[in-house]
Structure 1
Amino acid sequence: MTNRRNFLFGLGGFALVAATGPVRAAAPTALHVLSTPGCGCCHAWADLARALGYAVTVEDLSDPDAQKAALGVPADLVSCHTVKGDGYVFEGHVPFEAVEAVLRDRPDITGLAVPGMPMGSPGMGDDPTARFDVIAFGGAAGAGAVFYRAGTPRPFAV
């Protein structure tokens, strides 16, 4: 049975949809992984990204040094794979909490890097207690600044 309150509530909802259009789910963020040929941990990171709902494509790097340099990755921050996503670069085994913070907050940086291949990082064992730093580079970060400290109680450095 429809009473006045339900009728007015429904009418208000109809007016909101009419004014703003239908509600649509946001499209998943596309991440393009440039992988070291034959590297299993690059694909493990990509699989974790897929499981979190990212739209992931993977391509083998043909000239890693040149491709990473062209994307602005400093030579001292390189790892086994490079990820392009929504205007940012993520080098190596960057934790997804840090990726999500960058995509949400849009800081003035080129990207984030986890140099080398630290054990326990995403794709390298996925140990939430593993400790390593995630470095921001380019833009306001300049040559590099700690953005995130994995495995710590207060991981965001900024």
Structure 2
Amino acid sequence: MSVSFLRRVILAPFLAALIAASSPLAALAQTVTVHKTPWCGCCTKWVDHLRDHGFDVIVREKEDLAPVRAELGVPDDLMSCHTGEVDGYALEGHVPADQVKRLLAERPEALGLSVPGMPMGSPGMETPYPPDTYDVVVFTTDGAETYATYTGGNMVSLAD
């Protein structure tokens, strides 16, 4: 076998893999930074939910999340137990990963998404009892509106 043949057969696949690994397509996972209190178990379960759906997650534990929420523009009436950040958007509470992916695909002019309160059956708040119906809310500096609705743990409608 010639050296040229060996280069083409053996080195070519490695070079192709190296090029692919260094391309933007290799970085498909979005990174979500989650600000949570050290003692919150449901926040940890939400982090697991995000990771299970392909997100890279950085956890920052803080005693007081109010400064983070204020910086990200999360209204008081949309607060929950933890706050995330992804690609310039705020994620307040137990937002389902599919809605985070939708947000990143659609890129609305918004500050972020929220699942206000801590509804049973939302990601991280799983329960053996019937889950609550809850809304995922998209919010801006001018207000908020429903982005999606979940009933029985399943999405039932998307806002237009």
Separation in structure 1 between the aligned mates of residue 29 and residue 69 of structure 2, nearest angstrom: 25
Contact 1:61 1:67 in 2 (8 A): no
Give secondary structure in 1 for the equivalent of 2:103.
Answer: helix
RMSD of aligned residue pairs (Cα, Å): 2.2
Aligned equivalent of 2:137: 135
Structure 2: give runs of 5+ residues left out of the alignment. 1-18
Change (3 A) 1:153 1:112: closer
Structure 1: give runs of 5+ residues left out of the alignment. 1-20
How many residues of Structure 1 are paired with residues of Structure 2 in the alignment?
A: 136
Bigger proportion of residues as strand = 2
Q: Deviations over 1:25-56 (max 9, x none)?
A: 34310000001221000010001111111110
Separation in structure 1 between the aligned mates of residue 32 and residue 48 of structure 2, nearest angstrom: 11
Among all aligned residue pairs of Structure 1 and Structure 2, give the percentage whose two residues are the same amino acid. 42
Q: Deviations over 1:107-155 (max 9, x none)?
A: 111100011100000000078964201111115xx21111111126642
Residues 1:148 and 2:148 aligned together = yes
Separation in structure 1 between the aligned mates of residue 60 and residue 27 of structure 2, nearest angstrom: 25
Residues 1:78 and 2:79 aligned together = yes
Contact 1:147 1:157 in 2 (8 A): yes
Contact 1:129 1:150 in 2 (8 A): no
Aligned equivalent of 1:25: 26
Separation in structure 1 between the aligned mates of residue 67 and residue 81 of structure 2, nearest angstrom: 14
Query: Which one-letter code corresponds to 1:156 in the other structure?
Result: L
Contact 2:34 2:82 in 1 (8 A): yes
Deviation at 1:69, TM superposition (A): 1.1
Query: Which one-letter code corresponds to 2:123 in the other structure?
Result: P
Query: Which one-letter code corresponds to 2:29 in the other structure?
Result: P
Deviation at 1:66, TM superposition (A): 2.0
Aligned equivalent of 1:47: 48
Aligned equivalent of 1:108: 109
Change (3 A) 1:126 1:48: farther
Which segment drifts farther, 22-31 or 59-68? Answer: 22-31
TM-score (norm 1): 0.77
Give secondary structure in 2 for the equivalent of 1:155.
Answer: strand
